[in-house]
Structure 1
Amino acid sequence: MKSEARVAILVSNDDTFYVLCVFRGFFIEKLFLSLNKEELISEITSSPISEEIRYSNLGIGEKYTENQLENLCRTVALKLSEKLNINK
């Protein structure tokens, strides 16, 4: 994977809400939140940014197979959940 390539990672927080992290290298460039997975995927696929995504775990570009960015996005989702007091 090129470090400057955009990577889109979709994770869920126990199906409470969904987080889509768009990375450039190891930096989060964009962050999308939604309660509905299908709406979130539809929104990103109809967005101009989808043309710039090289790898993803949601069917845009090539399949992302590494765990490093997925783990980072899961950590972001967990911290957001804690701040929003979800699942408590």
Structure 2
Amino acid sequence: MSQSEDYSKFIFQIDSTDFSITGIDSIRIDYNRELHYISTNCGYETYFEINNIEYSHQYIDTIIIASDKVNNDVNTEHLKIVLKK
């Protein structure tokens, strides 16, 4: 997630050697940014709160926000992406 913008956009392409397949999906995540002070030596880190998700439906069926708070906890699942069958 960007520390200078209020959104990030991701492009996903199907893993295939068949280039005639147009298997591309995009995801846009809108969020608020909040600076958190760590220390004088380290400065600040940015925490995020997910507000909205927009996505195409080529292969993505649904995106569920599991946790809208994004910080430095690497063990938290934030999004669940469900693909079409």
TM-score class normalised by the smaller sequence: 0.3 to 0.5
* Structure of higher RCO (CA pairs closer than 8 Å, 6+ residues apart): 1
Give TM-score scaled by structure 2 length.
Answer: 0.35
- Which of structures 1 and 2 has the bigger CA Rg? 2
Q: Higher strand proportion, which one?
A: 2
Give TM-score scaled by structure 1 length.
Answer: 0.34
